Amino acid sequence: MTAHFNSLDEFCQQLMQTHTLDAKAIAGAQDRNSQLTKPPGALGRLEDLAIWYAGWRGNPRPEITAPQVVIFAGNHGVCAQGVSAFPSEVTVQMVANFEHGGAAINQLSKAFGAKMDVHALSLDTPTADFTQEPAMTEDELLDALKIGWAAVDPNSDLLVTGEMGIGNTTSAAAVAAALFGGAAADWTGRGTGVDDAGLTRKTEVVAKGLELHAANDPLEVLRCLGGRELAAMAGAITAARAHRIPVILDGFICCAAAAVLEKVQTGALDHAIAGHLSAEGAHQRLLDLLGKKPLLNLGLRLGEGSGAALAIGVLKGAIACHSGMATFAEAGVSDG
């Protein structure tokens, strides 16, 4: 679907004007939950998830039948600083792997019945090295936001955004530090598995980027320190809200991109839940600042949307119980 914005100011306006929870659907879901054949609260967090999902879909007895996984890929000029254990060529190679169905995210999408799409964003033209200049121009940022927006299928009923981009944990660390403060070392992790010397170098690179770009505006932070795939994820998450499509957030990189939206407009991520806690060290801190409790904690650090895709199963389970269980009256069971 075509984006309804042609400037960053219009994008912000779009973000501020999107939908909120449907109070009538919430009330109906709560009423239904109170009548299901189980002790009150027996399904724990699954009950809260089902009611939350019902509120965003505007249906007190919803189903999940059309989840969508969208992977965005981008290359980063900051890789010239030696911040990754892998060369930038791997981004192109992994996109081909996604397209041929050979990656982990392909298997997880298939396992949970999700349609999967891949969008490569100008891989032959990496973003600028943010230790030297802003990563993107305003037009490049706007284009990436639009690509993310248009990638969302309005007919889907759940969205997972994933990413691929060698060097993007460096970009995400810089974005998170700029948004929330703290030292570069607080936010910089091993990413693809850099050694101690690589981690030191990566931390110095993040610190240099923060020193060069002292931006306060969240979208300016994204422009100066982010990447095209981070911007595209932000655009997709915003589009999902406009379509009343709940979102499952993936790991550190996805959450850093999403955090930009929350900084623009408090509550911008109310339609999103955290799929998992990744093994990237700063992810827990970022989730705490966003007020998101992860559904899973399995030590994953792959990216690609893999942890969030796995969490589709948890949310599907919550909805299956909520919408499929019998009430006490229907089952002829005494509710005490």
Question: Is 10 known to be catalytic?
Answer: no
SS3 58: coil
- Torsion angle in degrees (nearest 10) through CA of 91, 97, 98, 99: 110
- Where in 111-257 does DSSP place strands (E)? 115-120, 158-164, 247-249
pLDDT in tens, the chain (336 residues): 567 799 999 999 988 887 889 999 999 999 999 999 999 999 999 999 999 999 999 999 999 999 999 999 999 999 999 999 999 999 999 999 999 999 999 999 999 999 999 999 999 999 999 999 999 999 999 999 999 999 999 999 999 999 999 999 999 999 999 999 999 999 999 998 899 998 999 999 999 999 999 888 999 999 999 999 999 999 999 999 999 999 999 999 999 999 999 999 999 999 999 999 999 999 999 999 999 999 999 999 999 999 999 999 999 999 999 999 999 999 989 876
Phi, psi dihedrals of residue 311, rounded to the nearest 5°:
-70, -15
Q: What is the pLDDT of residue 1?
A: 59
Query: Alpha-carbon distance 320 to 314, whole Å?
Result: 10
> Among the options 47, 89, 304, 330, which is catalytic?
304
Q: What is the pLDDT of residue 336?
A: 67
Q: What is the pLDDT of residue 74?
A: 98
> Residue 304 to residues 37, 227, 229, 274, 291: CA-CA distances in angstroms?
38, 15, 11, 15, 23
